[in-house]
Chain A
Amino acid sequence: MVEQVQNGPAKGRRTAARRRSDLANVLKVSVAALVVLGVAPFFLDIYTINILIRALLLAALALTVDLLWGYTGILTFGQSAFFGIGAYACALVFTHWGFGAGWAILALALGILTAMAVAALVGWLAFYHGASPLYGSIVTLALTIVVTQIIYAGGRTTGSSSGLSGFPTYYWPLETWFWIAGAFLVVVTALAWLFVHSDMGRVLVAIRENENRCAYLGIPVSRIKILLLVASGAIGAIAGFGYAAFTNVVAPELAGFLLGTELLIWVALGGRGTLIGPVIGAILIDVTSSYLSGSLPFYWKLLVGILFVVVIVALPQGLMPEVTKIWRRFVPGARRKAEAPKLEPAPARGVVHGKEQPLTVRGVHRHFGSLQVLQGIDFEAKEGELLSLVGPNGAGKTTLIRCLADGYERSGGDITIFGKDLGRWPPERCVALGIGRKFQTANVFATLTVGECLRVARYRMAPPSIWTSDTTLGLPEAALRIVEETGLAQSLDTEARHLAHGQKQALELAMVLALEPRIVLLDEPTAGLTRVERERIGAILTSLTERERLSILLVEHDLDFVREISSRVIVLHQGKILLDGSVEEVVDSELVREIYAGTALNLKGDGP
């Protein structure tokens, strides 16, 4: 605790310093970009400026696709719909209601609000726990069709298939429009840059890498995705509004599925997950298309199509990483190295040790079709208990763990956590009730560093900033001990995919403990670990139950390990609880020996 008092102000200083440095770089680049855009119109011909204005606005739209798809892994075809909504808001208000500064503001606000409402609806449809990513993509695809059809159905109000044109608008000089579009793109890119490099930006990547693990870390994945879609929709609507106000023409194609897929092509070619790549890709391809659409329209599109397929198959990260590689070869020291955060103990939460039982399971059963995997499961777990679940393969151990961590898993029965009904809550709500689950196979975020993985796991306890990244990482004592005793503390800046198997297991365990759970579900946490690592983890687990009074449920095959650390053992066999008692009662019982021996014989007989 003393350490924390000392760390408090220091932490504040460091955070501020870090914030300034990132912002400074972004500002420098933004100003440079603005200067280039500022003088560009004086060197370009009118035709080029014209098509560049459109390209700059579409680049901002491509940027939102990169946020959704490149960073968060949501393959969206639907960003054009928001562009169309913004454009039609402008055209409809100026055509039918009136024109002027007030009307313009109203139209912009209407466009943004409509786009946000539609995005929220689409997000609700597409993103829920367990939704397949494919389904989400199809919903965004359907969105473009629905919006286009509504425009067609609008008759004379929306101009149907021919759209609206010739409505009054601001006939500013071309340069002015160019500067507006350019400044808009620079601002959006700068904000997006800060956002994706913030701690929250790492959460987006974590969702892309392993959505399921995120949910079991208590991260409200669906809500984050919906909010991101809503923000992207708003940006898209602003771009669309600008486009309509500038060109004075809107058509249903603006909201269409073809533009939506073109955006994906630009992002894929430019380099998904790089922000700058998609922006450059969008501008270059759109401008070239405009130039070549007169002379070689079909061949140009054919070429883009071929290039797109080649990039997806052979160069999935797009062209930007290749450019960066060359840049780094010629400019030594240009490599951005991930910084390791400074570890510190998180402030201890005052846990009230109440009278409530941590875990009560009554009559839980689970079936898949006619196959009964669990039936009539009744047991409790008390505070400070290390409860081992043993039983042969297929006894239902993992299924039982699943039922405890996701309210949707069980077919029937009641589970009560500290007096609260688990109900049908999704995993992130179960985490809020105090449950932490470690998966059977090491389940970490491959492209995040160790430090970032742990910070993502702290999402609930220390909500991440959306503009900055913290240079310190507060972890509860148990997680800190694992990180320090397994050598992870020295690899905080290493990407998780480069860790050895044992370290991945330890990292995931540390992530689960970082949640500060009251009930920890561990599915073979020591599988694949060396003896020394196993003993170390065993010691940490027993001290967690003794000192912090956690309840730990452990699925384990190694009966020696079970005997060493458990305070109670439950034997599952064919989906039923066979025995429930102290270590001596259970591990040494004749019945358990029979089951294990019997299964061993069966395995020899049936195994592959």
Chain B
Amino acid sequence: MGVLLLDIVTTAAILFAVASGLMIILGVMKLINFAHGAFLTIGGYAAFATTQLGWNPWLAIPFAALVGFILGLIVERVIVRPLYARPLDAILATWGLGIIIGQVITIVFGRQVQFVQSPISGAIEFLGYSYSTYRLILVALAALLAVALTALFYFTRFGLNARAVIMNEDLARGLGIDSTRVRLITFGLGAALASMAGALITPLISVDPNLGLPWLINSFMLVLVSGISIPSLIVASLILGGAQVVVSTYVSAILGGLTIVVLAAVILRIRPQGLFSG
């Protein structure tokens, strides 16, 4: 029972970390970033490169974030900005971008499965159970991330501008907020978060050019169910992640993999506005 609870909390923490970048981009830009999975992959390979270069494995996290941020800025400027008025086309273009990133990674690193050195291994005693140290650290990191994002959006000038754009972009522009710049930075930030999440999860899974794909859809579902709010995303991660763990543990692993998608689709059919709003 205790292990199950720890599984649920750590799974939720991972889901939250993976989905947060998508949520920020959706919230500010009203855009579903289909390259989100590709940015996770980039983060995974940034961690792999860190291992290859013999750097300290902890460095993988900031390194991945930096790579993601820079690439995100470029992508926003070249691909996303011209498609602002065509959201469904933006989905397709970012998906095309995902293909390009996947192929470039395949050409550079090969298509074989690679492994990344974990910054910390083994298990510790926690609440009387022996549990993976790295997964527990992930929970702390995800909590830190939630606090940092909240602080960013509520205690900085950028956050104030971004919230204004989320609520009413036209009005925000009318008040002199440079929404183009807000969007640019938001996309960079979302890409950085995705990439960082990719680096965070790679010690748990192997790295290959398609590693981001399965996470992409679960992230969408979480964000659609939660709506644009950090606390809601945490709760949605706990509920859906919890359901996934329970189904995987007691029914079957394959059905567990489907839990989030199916459950979220049904939740959204009943409550289109998501679980927590309206």
Which residues of A are in contact with B by a Cβ distance under 8 Å? 73, 75, 125, 128, 130-135, 137-139, 141-142, 145-146, 149, 152-153, 257, 261, 264-265, 268, 298-299, 301-302, 304-306, 308-309, 312-314, 316, 608
Contacts and interface: CB of A to CB of B under 8 A. Distances in A.
Nearest to A142: B261
Contacts of B221: 138, 142
A265 B104 contact: no
A570 B115 CA distance: 73
Interface stretch (B12-20, B147-155, B233-241, B262-270): B262-270
A142 B83 contact: no
A249 B127 CA distance: 52
Interface in B226-256: 252, 254-255
B217 A145 contact: yes
Contact of B217 (A135, A141, A314): A141
A312 B82 CA distance: 10
A141 B265 CA distance: 11
A467 B257 CA distance: 44
Contact of B272 (A135, A138, A304, A309): A135
Given A142-B262, A268-B92, 12 more contacts: A75-B91, A130-B272, A133-B88, A135-B224, A135-B268, A135-B272, A142-B265, A152-B254, A305-B99, A308-B92, A308-B99, A313-B79
A309 B100 contact: yes
Contact of A138 (B87, B92, B220): B220
A141 B32 CA distance: 13
A490 to B, nearest CB: 32
Contacts of B83: 312-313
B88 A75 contact: yes
A81 to B, nearest CB: 13
A575 B258 CA distance: 47
A305 B96 contact: yes
A313 B93 contact: yes
A317 to B, nearest CB: 11
Nearest to B105: A298
Contacts of B174: 608
A138 B224 contact: yes
Nearest to A132: B272
B255 A153 contact: yes
B262 A153 contact: no
11 contacts: A130-B272, A134-B91, A135-B224, A142-B221, A298-B111, A301-B99, A305-B96, A305-B103, A308-B99, A312-B92, A313-B83
B104 A302 contact: yes
B107 interface: yes
B72 to A, nearest CB: 16
B32 A134 contact: yes
B86 A316 contact: yes
B95 interface: yes
Contact of B103 (A138, A298, A312): A298
A304 B99 contact: yes
B275 interface: no
Contacts of B82: 313-314
Measured as residues with beta carbon below 8 angstroms from the partner, the interface class of chain B is 35 or more
Contacts of B261: 142, 145-146
A395 B263 CA distance: 41
B151 to A, nearest CB: 27
A268 B83 CA distance: 15
B230 to A, nearest CB: 20
Contacts of A261: 95
B201 to A, nearest CB: 19
A268 B87 CA distance: 15
Contacts of A308: 92, 96, 99
B164 interface: no
A149 B262 CA distance: 12
Closest 4 CB pairs of A and B: A305-B99, A302-B103, A309-B96, A308-B96
B89 A316 contact: yes
Contacts of B255: 149, 153
A153 B258 CA distance: 11
B92 A149 contact: no
Contacts of B121: none
A481 B94 CA distance: 49
Contacts of B265: 125, 138-139, 142
A305 B262 contact: no
A312 B99 contact: no
Contact of B97 (A137, A264, A309): A309
Contacts of B168: none
A312 B96 contact: yes
B130 interface: no
B133 interface: no
B99 A299 contact: no
Given A125-B265, A130-B272, A313-B83, A298 B89 contact: no
A142 B261 CA distance: 6
Contacts of B88: 73, 75, 133-134, 137
Contacts of A128: 269, 272
Nearest to B88: A75
A131 B272 contact: yes
Given A142-B265, A145-B217, A299 B107 contact: yes
A268 B92 CA distance: 9
Nearest to B213: A257
A401 B56 CA distance: 65
B106 interface: yes
A301 B103 CA distance: 7
A576 to B, nearest CB: 24
B29 to A, nearest CB: 13
A306 B252 contact: no
Contacts of A146: 258, 261-262
Nearest to A300: B103
A261 B91 CA distance: 11
A316 B252 CA distance: 43
Contacts of A608: 174
Contact of A149 (B104, B213, B257, B272): B257
B252 A153 contact: yes
Interface centre among A135, A264, A299, A312 (most CB of B within 10 A): A312
Nearest to A262: B99
A509 to B, nearest CB: 28
Nearest to B268: A135
Contact of A137 (B91, B96, B100, B268): B91
Interface string B111-152: 100000000000000000000000000000000000000000
Contacts of B104: 302
A138 B34 CA distance: 11
B269 A125 contact: yes
B231 to A, nearest CB: 18
The interface centre, meaning the residue of A130, A135, A313 with most chain B CB atoms within 10 A of its CB, is: A313
B84 to A, nearest CB: 11
Nearest to B98: A305
A42 to B, nearest CB: 37
Contacts of A152: 254
Given A139-B265, A145-B217, A146-B262, A298 B106 contact: yes
